[in-house]
Amino acid sequence: AQSVAQPEDQVNVAEGNPLTVKCTYSVSGNPYLFWYVQYPNRGLQFLLKYITGDNLVKGSYGFEAEFNKSQTSFHLKKPSALVSDSALYFCAAGGDSSYKLIFGSGTRLLVRP
Amino acid sequence: DGGITQSPKYLFRKEGQNVTLSCEQNLNHDAMYWYRQDPGQGLRLIYYSQIVNDFQKGDIAEGYSVSREKKESFPLTVTSAQKNPTAFYLCASSIGQGIVNTQYFGPGTRLTVL
């Protein structure tokens, strides 16, 4: 069965420090990987995706993610966190033969001033 | 959220009532999706439609129904058969079928059963 794991319910980081939000996946075939962010009572906003090509993907608001095929991971990173980055982050994945995305359970990022 | 609208933002339902959630997009996208979000869980797919007049069940379709009579509209009806409908409902669309195409989400409707 296909699955996405976000092992941390919450990540705490000080403003200005680097942040990492972890994601591992299990899908059939070549993976398509996505990161979304959700602010309270809002829909999901697309941050970035990996389809093929460079393992380091750059996205919106200074976020980037690194695809690691051997570790089946797609961790989200940002070199310098902002308080406004505080939100709920979802990783999603699907195999190239699949019709649907599988979402992780979400990681709450809290950036303290 | 631009390009996809959902209404109402908040909806209250009494036991035994059917309610319909609206989803409209002006992005000229072919594919549309309905997800349910519960606290501490990821999004779960209810229904999806890859083209007008066609739709398929997702993982949790029981107690829900949809229609796709127009390209821009994909309403979701939560029927009285849905035993635990209180949740946050998200509509999404993508330019074409297949998960290679990025899904863009509406602002959501929060449904509460009284």
Q: What is the pLDDT of residues B51-105, one digit of tens each?
A: 999 999 999 999 999 999 999 999 999 998 888 999 999 999 999 888 889 999 9
Structure confidence at residue A98 (pLDDT): 79
Question: Which residue is closest to B32 within chain A, CA to CA?
Answer: A100
Question: Which residue is closest to B56 within chain A, CA to CA?
Answer: A99
H/E run at residue B81: none
Mean predicted lDDT score pLDDT of chain B: 93
Q: What percent of chain B has pLDDT over 70?
A: 98
**Strand positions, DSSP E, B2-108:** 4-7, 10-13, 19-25, 31-37, 43-51, 54-57, 64-66, 76-78, 87-94, 104-105
pLDDT band at residue B1 using 50, 70 and 90 as cut-offs: very low
Structure confidence at residue B2 (pLDDT): 54
Q: What percent of chain A has pLDDT over 70?
A: 100
Question: Which residue is closest to B59 within chain A, CA to CA?
Answer: A100
**Phi (first) and psi of residue A36, to 5 degrees:** -130, 155
Which amino acid type is present at position B33? Answer: Y
In the structure encoding, which two tokens stand for residue B42, read together? Answer: 């990821």
Which residue of A46, A98, A106 is in closest CB contact with B102?
A46
Q: What is the pLDDT of residues A15-59, one digit of tens each?
A: 999 999 999 999 988 999 999 999 988 899 999 999 998 999 999
Mean predicted lDDT score pLDDT of chain A: 95
Which amino acid type is present at position A74? Answer: F
Which residue of A44, A98, A105 is in closest CB contact with B105?
A44
Exposure letters A74-101 (e unless 16+ CB within 10 A, then b):
bbbebeebeeebbbbbbbbbbbeebebb
Q: How far is B69 from chain A (nearest CA, A)?
A: 22
B95 and A CB contact within 8 Å: no
pLDDT band at residue B41 using 50, 70 and 90 as cut-offs: confident
pLDDT band at residue A1 using 50, 70 and 90 as cut-offs: confident
